[in-house]
Chain A
Amino acid sequence: MKSRRRDVNVTGTILLIILIMIIMFPFYIMLVGAFKPNPSLIAFPIDLNPFKNLTMKNITKVFEKSDLIRWLVNSFIVSIGVAVLTVIIALTAGYSFSRMDFPGKNILFALVMATLMMPKQVLLIPNFLVANSLGLVDTLIGVILTTIAPAFGIFLCRQFTGSLPRELFDAAEIDGCGELAKFVRIAVPLSLPSMGTVLIFSFFSTFNDYLWQLVMISDKKNMTLPIGVTLFSQLNASNKALQLAIALLATIPLAILFIALQKFFIKGATAGAVKG
């Protein structure tokens, strides 16, 4: 089917491979540098040979000197919390917008779209002050509640639940299902794929969010991975090997998760943009 356009652009492909190599370069540095003794990373010339002079010392030292596991656990708690709450909010609101009529619907949906266009960072200070007055600062539950940004999910769920066949809902109504039963018994089970997409996207974006967690968290026991890694690399500014080791360890869990869930990314990214 595609055969007509199969002529590959050779120059373009070479440039593309160079681009991918540039993108991969920091990962290569992490992967090799994490296993090098520090002196060979500040020496002249820098030794990045992946086959010689390797050591496990950096890795074991990172686990000794940092709370890496705790940061990871905190990041998972926060990200899962945000993702689950986002899915609940997105599906209920999306369902309401797509399958029900009520006064003020257009205005409310315009507000959803407005929050999609205006990311939460522009409200950094007032959001922090509100969180502070509610006693949410420096607690994991506070980070969860204040991170939720369901606009994209609402948009997605509205489109998806809107595309479900009407007959299903009519039939359920004839069988005596109320509004709640229709939602729980029909909309929820049929929307599992888009719920998965929303779940995964909000999980990853929360996991890698930096600014809001930086503002909210100061207690060491509440630190998440991005904050902990930054702190650790500042405390060990002169030890490049140790920094690269923690960078590598911070990258691996999400990289594995990403590769396992790749299909969702390819579907989810296009959900908002390409529609019929």
Chain B
Amino acid sequence: MKAGWAYIFLIPWLAVFCVFYLYPLFYGIICSFTNSSLNKMEWIGLDNYKKLIGDYAFWTSLKSTLLYCLICIPLNVFLPLWVANTLHPHGRKMNIASKLLIYLPGVTCAAALVIGWKFVFASNTGLLTQILSRMGFEHISFLDKASTAIPIVSLMVVLCNMGTNLIIYCAAIDSLPETYFEAAEMDGASKRDQFWKITFPLLNATIVYVFITATIGALQIFVFPQLMTAGGPNYTTSTLLMLVYDKAFSNNQFGYASAIGVVLFLITAAVALIQFKVVSKDKIEY
């Protein structure tokens, strides 16, 4: 009787889950073995995956996805931790003001933010380009080559997403028992030692949580590179998700795009699974 009600309460979720998650999941896998476009669908076996192995665009996008991850994940994990630790001894007003200002880009329309950032980094008329050329540097087109575009876009991603993690860290640091720090102070431990020997190990679980969400987020980076560089030149700043979009909606290759999507899904699932295993294995309790 009660179990029946439990399922009734689950119906709304189950409906959404089945129609817009589970079914598309299988449909996507099937699609990746076809040459679908919007109006036709033909089984072609493993051809999409064979094509993938020799596709320059795929490997280039995979490489830049990893580069974005390499820059964004550590910054997303440790920059807000540093900010939270620096903020902690400050008064309430400074704390609230800083949190609000740092969170603001996170609730701002990304398209609007990009307009602001492009003003700084645009190739010919950008503010930074102007300032640098005025100082005598040679003309740099920041967004026209991957070696400068990827760090710049990554920085935008990091600055945009910092708010949530900052608030998480602040709450975690606030919840640490004051007595630990008092004892350390009496023993003559420096602030630096207090951070590395007390705060950092006690925040272990929080850092792991942020690390996991940061990793999954970094694999899905889309809007900033799409609007800043559109993946160019020649896919060197494209992410896998951007390539999926590009193949499907610019080239009408839905089957091939599905195959890339399956690869992205597998990478994300593998990373999530590994992290889940690691977390459940070494749970440090204090």
Contact = CB atoms under 8 A, between A and B. Distances in A.
Contact of B168 (A25, A33, A243, A274): A274
Q: Name the residue among A89, A103, A122, A124 with the largest chain B CB count within 10 angstroms.
A: A122
A145 interface: yes
B142 to A, nearest CB: 15
Given A33-B119, A130-B20, A262-B100, A123 B261 contact: yes
A112 B10 CA distance: 11
Nearest to A19: B83
B48 to A, nearest CB: 12
A: interface residue count bin: 35 or more
Contacts of B245: 124, 211, 214-215
B181 A122 contact: no
B130 A45 contact: yes
Contacts, number: 279
A113 to B, nearest CB: 9
B12 A88 contact: yes
A192 interface: no
Contact of B119 (A29, A105, A108, A120): A29
Nearest to B260: A125
A56 B105 CA distance: 25
A226 B110 contact: yes
B86 A12 contact: yes
Q: Name the residue among A8, A101, A270 with the largest chain B CB count within 10 angstroms.
A: A270
Interface string B102-123: 1111011111110111011000
Contacts of A246: 112, 115
Contacts of A119: 216, 220, 268
Given A6-B89, A123-B28, A130 B19 contact: yes
A229 B109 CA distance: 9
Contact of A16 (B83, B115, B227): B83
Nearest to B263: A122
Nearest to B110: A210
A270 B13 contact: no
Given A123-B25, A130-B23, A145-B16, 11 more contacts: A16-B98, A29-B116, A46-B127, A89-B12, A92-B9, A102-B2, A123-B265, A126-B258, A130-B24, A240-B125, A270-B172
Interface of B: 2-3, 5-7, 9-13, 16-17, 19-21, 23-25, 27-28, 31, 36, 38, 82-83, 86-90, 96, 98-105, 107-113, 115-117, 119-120, 125, 127, 130, 134, 159, 162-164, 167-168, 171-172, 175, 178, 181-182, 185, 191, 206, 209-210, 212, 216, 220, 222-223, 226-227, 241, 244-245, 248-249, 254, 257-258, 261, 264-265, 268-269, 272, 276
